[in-house]
Amino acid sequence: MHGYDKHAYEPFAVTVDLAVFTLRAGQLHILLVERGQDPYAGRWALPGGFLAPDESAESAARRELAEETGLSDVAGLHLEQLRTYSEPDRDPRMRVVSVAFAALVPNAPQAQGGGDAARAAWLPYEPGARGAYGPLAFDHDVILADAHERIGGKLEYTCLATAFCPPEFTLGELRQVYEVVWGTELDPANFRRKVLATPGFVEQIPGASRLTGGRGKPAALYRAGGATSLLPPLLKPAPDATEGTR
């Protein structure tokens, strides 16, 4: 196929949508912008924007990420293409094909309004029920749920969790990433053994330590190692059948 002179083709508008997660006060947060105009005026939506003629979707996503978060060094942030949403009726005005990305930000600064007048905020994300943001605009509820599932899955078999942490972190903070994203609790001792047994996951910073919550024994500091895959994987514990909370 790909014969342009033999087949008619329709032009489409192409956008990128970003699901930007961060950890704040021990809770998973998502970056959202408030729409100021119809359709879905007043509703929250994922940040995003149109693809420029001379950039790839990855470039556009990273540009939008810098604009919306106000961070200066978005080069090192984890940005991952989720999938492309192309249902014909997903935008009531016109045909829009959107390439969705998931991004992880370690320490979230204040949310910036974008280039235009839209209001931006970090809002706590709760997987099952809709949180404080209500139903999102367009199909962004689906995109957001897909993004969270992807992140949770990648924690199992990659070293992605360090992307949520600042350059220097304790093993307790790293464990909190798993606990918050998965919504479960992990045994601190077993988690420590598993992480340290994986070569290249983390590297200890010699002689450095820090108190995490003002209490308890000071914890050693680590930085992210060079490994990217986590073998064997760190599997999310199966939900207990006797417990009805899930």
Partner DNA sequence: CCCTTTAAAGTCGCTTAGACCAATAAGGGA
Partner DNA sequence: TCCCTTATTGGTCTAAGCGACTTTAAAGGG
Q: Which pairing describes strands 96-105 and 78-85: parallel, antiparallel, or unpaired?
A: antiparallel
Q: Does 217 bind DNA (CB under 7 A)?
A: yes
Q: Does 66 bind a second copy (CB under 8 A)?
A: no
Structure tokens at 203: 């590297």
Cα 38 to its chain centre, rounded Å, is: 27
Q: How far apart are CB 56 and a second copy at their closest, in Å? A: 5
Q: Does 232 bind a second copy (CB under 8 A)?
A: yes
Q: Rounded CA gap, 54 and 37, in Å?
A: 28
Residue of 24, 76, 83, 209 that binds a second copy (CB under 8 A) = 83
Q: Does 25 bind DNA (CB under 7 A)?
A: no
- Is 115 or 218 the residue whose CB approaches DNA more closely? 218
Q: Does 242 bind a second copy (CB under 8 A)?
A: no
Tell me which of DNA, a second copy, none is bound by residue 190, counting a contact when its beta carbon lies within the kind-specific cut-off of 5 to 8 angstroms: DNA
Q: Rounded CA gap, 34 and 65, in Å?
A: 16
Q: Virtual CA dihedral for 13, 93, 113, 15, nearest 10 degrees?
A: -20
Cβ contacts of 32 within 8 Å, gap of 6 or more: 44, 45, 46, 47, 120, 121, 122, 123, 133, 136
Q: How far apart are CB 11 and a second copy at their closest, in Å? A: 3
H or E element that contains 188: helix 188-197
Q: Does 14 bind DNA (CB under 7 A)?
A: no
149-to-60, 154, 175 alpha-carbon distances in Å: 23, 9, 18
Q: Does 49 bind a second copy (CB under 8 A)?
A: yes
Q: Does 157 bind a second copy (CB under 8 A)?
A: yes
Q: Does 86 bind a second copy (CB under 8 A)?
A: yes
User: What string of DSSP letters covers 109-177?
Assistant: -PPPP-SSS-EEEEEE--SSS--TT-SPSTTHHHHHHHHHHHHHHHHHHBSGGGGGS-SSB-HHHHHHH
Which DSSP symbol is given to 229? B
Q: Rounded CA gap, 14 and 178, in Å?
A: 34
Q: How many residues in the shown chain lie near DNA by CB under 7 A?
A: 27
> Which x/- pattern, by CB under 7 A, does the window 168-207 give for DNA?
--xxxx-------------xxxx-xxx--x----------
- Is 49 or 106 the residue whose CB approaches a second copy more closely? 49
Q: How far apart are CB 93 and a second copy at their closest, in Å? A: 7
Residues that bind DNA (CB under 7 A): 170-173, 187-190, 192-194, 197, 209, 211-220, 232, 234-235, 237
Q: Which residues bind a second copy (CB under 8 A)?
A: 1-4, 6-15, 33, 35-37, 45, 47-58, 64, 81, 83-84, 86-88, 93-95, 97, 99, 114-116, 118, 137-138, 157, 199-200, 227, 229, 231-233, 235, 238, 244-246
